[in-house]
Chains A and B, each alone.
Chain A
Amino acid sequence: MKTLLSRISLLAAALPLLSSPSCKDSGGGPAATEIVIGEVAALTGGTATFGQSSHAGTQMAVDEINASGGLLGKKVKLVTEDDQSKQGEAGTVVKKLLSREKAVAILGEVASGKSLEMAPICQKAGIPMISPASTNPKVTEVGDYIFRICFIDPFQGTVMAKFALSRGWKKVAIVTDVKQDYSVGLSDFFKKYYTANGGTIVSEQSYSSGDKDFKAQLTALRGSAPDAIFASGYYNEAGLMAVQAHELGINAPMLGGDGWDSPSLTQVAGKAMEGNFFSNHFAAEDASPVIQDFVKKFTAKHKSAPDAMAALGYDSMMILAAAIKKAGTTEGKAVRDAIASTKDYQGITGKITLDEKRNATKPAVILTIKDGKFVYVETLAP
């Protein structure tokens, strides 16, 4: 009984400690010779190729920083936690990174749904968070400590709508993953711009992540004879959908967002993916020296060309490093202010300026699938 009571009182004493933000003593982490950066990535599960790529990019940036002397005279230590692509897991692991690892800043997640879980936790703790690739607008609306270095859904949806109209496609069918904030957002903004500028949405279909059979939805939209199909979900379902559209004799090209950017897309779909288009952050065959240099270094290390997630992961770490250098400290508020003032930073994924809503403004590239490879088509400015 006595031990139970003492345990309860111990717990009660510990509670305020748990709820109070741990930022006040940031910089004085476990080892003062290191700067701990936390990273949350989906290394396994449904969106694993995103997490693995962005992690590879981030790790490369950390290695480069450490090779050239580190930050503020200290080594950078990247602590990566896997959220298994599961909703709910990202929140748990980010708490661990903040309380146990005493991370001074958080990088991640790629998927918007997971970033939305992490953002309130980082905001409350007063720790800056940079998402490399979450494009849903709500992510940075959480608070002034939350940043992203990619464009947002309104822009991406608008770009694809613009692209469809420029090709003369007047009738488009939309297929949305109702379980993903990302997909719902993209579809919404596509629809808004497309219908306001003379296009017609002839059919709207939906599914939930993890579905494998889309024949019913595709058969239904086939009846409305669309010029193109906007599939705003992630690569796994998009790949299976392309296969089934092909089987049903649908020849309209499919359009997608950066959620398609994964080697799995063509591995699953094979020939059925040929001639489809998607918007992305970066094209590996862009001739500019910054990009080619990055591609060369990445390929030498990983034996495969970097995708957009790797480039964004790299950029997110580099922008954070630049901000810490500028702030001269790892204290949350100072680093936050330094990140917010990022202007015309020449990253791998374009010239990055963070606006007052903490979103990056930069152009998007359109890629097509040809002979199983992603081929650059054009760049569309905001």
Chain B
Amino acid sequence: MTLTISYQLFLEQFVQQLLNGLFLGSIYALIALGYTMVYGVLRFINFAHGDVFMLGAFSGLYLNKWLAPMLTTLPWPASVALVLVLSMIICGALGIIIEFLAYRPLRDKPKLNVLITAIGVSLFIEYTCQLIFGATQQPFPVLIPKSNIAGIGGLTVTNVQVIVLVTAFALMLGLRFIVMGTRLGLAMRALSLNPTASSLMGVNNGVVISFTFGLGSALAAAGGILYASLYPSIEPFMGITPGLKAFVAAVLGGIGNIPGAALGGLIIGVVETLVAGYSQSLGVPSGYKEGVAFVILILILIFKPSGLLGKVEREKV
């Protein structure tokens, strides 16, 4: 099969597939950051994170509807930025509320209790949204007027994809600045190292944890809007699969490690796309892309158990 295609065509197709994977992966990366931050600070997996991602997409949809008279008077980059920032604020607040109501009362309880609660919160959000928004898929409005950017050779990239990628990277860099360059970020890192010591040093752990949830949820909301811009059909259960993949991405990159989560997200996006794209040559139907992609991930984890960029942690006995 591949022999009949010319080398140049093959190369062109390969680069196109890499690009496809990169765009998809950048969104997984954004969601993965939220998982990793919460884990880094609190040592637990916030399973409701994928649902905050969904809420982000829905708040984008409704903000766009309600603010329509005002948004139409603005140039589209301004209206996109406005919708994005407002959704991030809404979801950031929701993240803080979720933490305050569901997780804070369990702060000193066994980790398993919090984990189960997280699954409960996730299901609660999904079904509440199904009740409010309905279970049918809804078309997501066109926030960014689409146009094809003709690349080199036969490569095709749309401006939406470029904007998604740039926004995702800008947000990741912004996050890096917050964590590495601000006092609050310093407090987050201190809390992550040792909660007791950090509170003795005058860090208000409660505030820092709220802030972490808010920040992670805001990133998930941005991910939701960017995802819905690429795939303009949204429904209350849309967060499950991307959320699961982002969680795996966070583990793959080394959970608790911020650049690791970004790297893991990109890898999953690319691997999944390549498997789907070359399934005919591989001899598996492209519908099984996730299966193959996850087998590859398991292999990586067998050889690097703490993830690609994760620190090897010795269990203290």
Q: Name A residues whose Cβ lies closer than 8 Å to a Cβ of B.
A: 44-46, 48-49, 84-85, 176-179, 203-208, 210-213, 215-217, 219-220, 222-223, 236, 239-240, 243, 247-249, 264, 267-268, 270
Contacts and interface: CB of A to CB of B under 8 A. Distances in A.
Contact of B232 (A45, A203, A223, A243): A243
B286 A205 contact: yes
A48 B139 contact: no
Interface stretch (B67-75, B116-124, B130-138): B130-138
Given A203-B280, A264-B139, A216 B233 contact: no
Contact of B276 (A48, A179, A203, A216): A216
**B contact patch SS:** helix
Given A236-B137, A247-B158, A219 B287 contact: no
Interface stretch (B16-24, B98-106, B187-195, B308-316): B16-24
A223 B231 contact: no
Given A207-B287, A210-B241, A44 B142 contact: no
A237 to B, nearest CB: 9
Given A236-B137, A247-B158, A219 B277 contact: yes
A220 B276 CA distance: 9
A243 B148 CA distance: 12
B211 interface: no
Contacts of B278: 220
Contacts of B238: 212
Contacts of A247: 146, 148, 156, 158, 161
B231 A213 contact: yes
Contacts of A267: 139
Interface string B282-302: 000111110000000000000
A139 B289 CA distance: 29
Contacts of B280: 203-205, 220
Contacts of B142: 270
A216 B287 contact: no
Interface of B: 5, 9, 13, 16-17, 20-21, 23-24, 130, 134-137, 139, 142, 146, 148, 154, 156, 158, 161, 227, 230-233, 235, 238, 241, 272-280, 285-289
B274 A45 contact: no
B130 A44 contact: yes
Q: Which of A203, A207, A219 has the most CB of B within 10 A?
A: A219
A178 B287 contact: yes
B13 A220 contact: yes
Contacts of B287: 176-179, 206-208, 211
Contacts of B130: 44
Nearest to A177: B287
Given A178-B287, A203-B280, A239-B233, A219 B135 contact: no
Contacts of A213: 20, 24, 230-231, 273
Nearest to A220: B277
Given A178-B287, A216-B20, A268 B139 contact: yes
A202 to B, nearest CB: 11
A49 to B, nearest CB: 7
Contact of B233 (A49, A203, A240, A249): A240
A369 to B, nearest CB: 15
Given A206-B285, A206-B288, A236-B233, 6 more contacts: A44-B135, A48-B134, A247-B146, A249-B156, A264-B233, A268-B232
A273 B79 CA distance: 27
Contacts of B233: 212, 236, 239-240, 264, 268
A215 B20 contact: yes
A106 to B, nearest CB: 23
B13 A45 contact: no
Contacts of B230: 213
Q: Which 7 A-B pairs have the closest CB atoms?
A: A216-B276, A44-B135, A206-B287, A216-B277, A178-B287, A212-B231, A215-B20
A12 B241 CA distance: 43
Contacts of B139: 264, 267-268
A217 B232 contact: no
B231 A240 contact: yes
A48 B135 CA distance: 8
Contact of B286 (A179, A207, A223): A207
B231 A46 contact: no
Contacts of A219: 13, 16-17, 20, 277
Contacts of A208: 287
A311 to B, nearest CB: 21
Contacts of B285: 178, 206
A249 B148 contact: yes
Contacts of A84: 135
Contact of B13 (A205, A223, A268): A223
A110 to B, nearest CB: 14
15 contacts: A46-B137, A48-B135, A177-B287, A207-B276, A207-B287, A208-B287, A212-B233, A213-B273, A216-B274, A217-B277, A217-B286, A223-B9, A247-B158, A268-B139, A270-B142
Contacts of B146: 247
A44 B161 CA distance: 31
B127 to A, nearest CB: 11
Nearest to A270: B142
Nearest to B235: A46
A203 B13 CA distance: 15
Contact of B137 (A176, A203, A211, A264): A264
A44 B136 contact: yes
Nearest to A52: B136
A111 B273 CA distance: 29
A216 B135 contact: no
Given A212-B233, A213-B231, A219-B17, A45 B289 contact: no
Q: Which of A49, A212, A268 has the most CB of B within 10 A?
A: A212
